[in-house]
Amino acid sequence: MKRAEKKDLIRLRFIVGYLGEQLKPAWWNSSFFAPGSTAFLAPIFSKTTILAQYHGLQEAASKIHDERIGIGTSVFHLFRLPDVIERELHYFIRDSENMGGACKRAYQHI
């Protein structure tokens, strides 16, 4: 997968994730983008707070999408992609340069 495609997928997850938490009624019950979330996560994940937000959001959204769409070998959605792609996205975002850049660009759209 190309670097630009990875950035776009991560950015899209951040944007949809933010909307899913902020819209009333919320699409899922999580608050990884609430004003106090960084203060809550930072003591535990001081160097990887954004990564913790990303994976927490992904799990919360996956759960709801899986309940509605289902889980199977050929069933995918924005928050549950084939394992190879999920690994690529994880390795991409855990790199500190990519993590900060993807998050900044996503927050600009929110």
The per-residue pLDDT string of the chain (110 residues; one tens digit each, 9 = 90 and over) reads: 898 999 899 999 999 999 999 888 989 889 888 888 888 888 898 888 888 888 899 999 999 999 998 888 788 999 999 999 999 998 888 875 665 555 555 555 55
Distance CA 11, CA 38 (A): 18
* pTM for the predicted model, two decimal places: 0.79
Which residue is it, tokens 């996956």?
62
Q: What is the distance, to the nearest Å, from the Cα of residue 105 to the centroid of all Cα atoms in its chain?
A: 13
Cis peptide before 82 (omega within 30 of 0): no
CA distance linking residue 44 with residue 94, whole number of Å: 16
Give the torsion through C-alpha atoms of 16, 22, 26, 28, to 10 deg. Answer: 50
